[in-house]
Amino acid sequence: MIDDIQRIRDEARNKLSSVDDLTELDRLRVQYLGKKGVVTTALKQLKDLTPEQRKEIGAVVNEARDELESRFEMKRLDIKRSDLEKELSRTEPLDVTLPGQYAVPAGSQHPVHRVIDEMVGILRKVGFSIATGPEIETEYYNFEALNTPDSHPARDVQDTFYVQSPVLLRSHTSPVQVRTMKAIDPPVQIVSFGRVYRADYDHTHTPMFHQMEGLLVDEDVSLADLKGVMHYLIRELFGKRAIRFRPSFFPFTEPSAEVDMQWNDGWLEIGGCGMVHPNVLEAAGYNPDRYMGFAFGMGIERIAMLKYGIDDLRSLFENDYRMLEQF
């Protein structure tokens, strides 16, 4: 019986060496190692032997089975590897630099945020850092601390969205001036961007829009510094062009001016500015005899419309992809 087993094992080894596909390998495996296979049958016959024979022959059969099992497994891996190699050499080499079949749609930045990013970049270069404040404000920060008395027309409930007095949606970014001054000691040089709200709606007004606010406070600040910053900002945004300062009025600055820039054949208003009113410095806890400063404010949408030639302000908020995709 031992000879039989050696013979079976040699025979299986021989057959195995000439197999080169998985189907044939499976067939052989069943023939030798399957439930009714030659080796399994030999193992079953062991029960008819004497205990001594069973021990001796059993060891030989088990060894043959283990050996064949590992040979079958090795062969299986061999065949798989060479199948893969064949497959790889048959197919065309893969060009990973070819464009994909479907273009992944790329997002783009909203024109309002492009302008914000650009202005932040411009002003940071000359020392401004970014400050923020809440959109839900109080009458105190939005008006009172900005020297805007109760009687002022801007405080008309018709113009401002009140949550419930004294809580309101800020109508400009100027309250950030006060919040910043209350939080840090001078010198202050900040710029702030954000949403503001007013009860207004037509092709140049939307109930929500964006503003930018700048503030510089120190011991020796003049109107000339303000003009220099305005010149610089507008030149960086729109290229070299003339600007002019038109006397104006804001409760929180004295003197106050509106800034116009040359546009086609005329002038276009682009923001308000002025020297910070002593009452504002005082409300923020700064000594107005020692400190002075300038402030400026601009509408972001206005600048985006000019830069990108958009003529209806409302189109900036409709989020129509056909419009936004142009940026």
Instruction: Determine if 274 is a binding residue for ligand DAH (CB under 6 A).
Output: yes
d(CA 226, CA 217): 11
Q: Minimum distance between the CB of residue 295 and ligand DAH, rounded to whole angstroms?
A: 3
The residue whose Cβ lies closest to ligand DAH is 297
Residue count at the site for ligand DAH (CB under 6 A)?
11
Residue whose CB is less far from ligand DAH, 216 or 237: 216
Among 259, 295, 305, 313, binds ligand DAH (CB under 6 A): 295
Instruction: Determine if 155 is a binding residue for ligand DAH (CB under 6 A).
Output: no
Residue whose structure tokens are 């600007």: 243
Among 155, 172, 210, 277, binds ligand DAH (CB under 6 A): 172
Pick the stretch among 105-113, 201-209, 231-239, 293-301 that binds ligand DAH (CB under 6 A).
293-301
Calculate the alpha carbon distances from 293 to 141, 216, 225, 237 in Å: 18, 5, 9, 23
DSSP 8-state symbol, 161: -
Instruction: Determine if 197 is a binding residue for ligand DAH (CB under 6 A).
Output: no
The secondary structure of 28-83 as a DSSP string is: HHHHHHSTTSHHHHHHHHGGGS-HHHHHHHHHHHHHHHHHHHHHHHHHHHHHHHHH
Instruction: Determine if 233 is a binding residue for ligand DAH (CB under 6 A).
Output: no
Residue whose CB is less far from ligand DAH, 9 or 148: 148
Amino acid at 135: E
Residue whose structure tokens are 């970049």: 121
d(CA 67, CA 13): 10
On whether the CB atoms of residues 301 and 210 are closer than 8 A, the answer is yes
Residue whose CB is less far from ligand DAH, 15 or 231: 231
Residues of the shown chain interacting with ligand DAH in the complex, contacts defined by CB under 6 A? 172, 174, 213, 250, 253, 272-274, 295-297
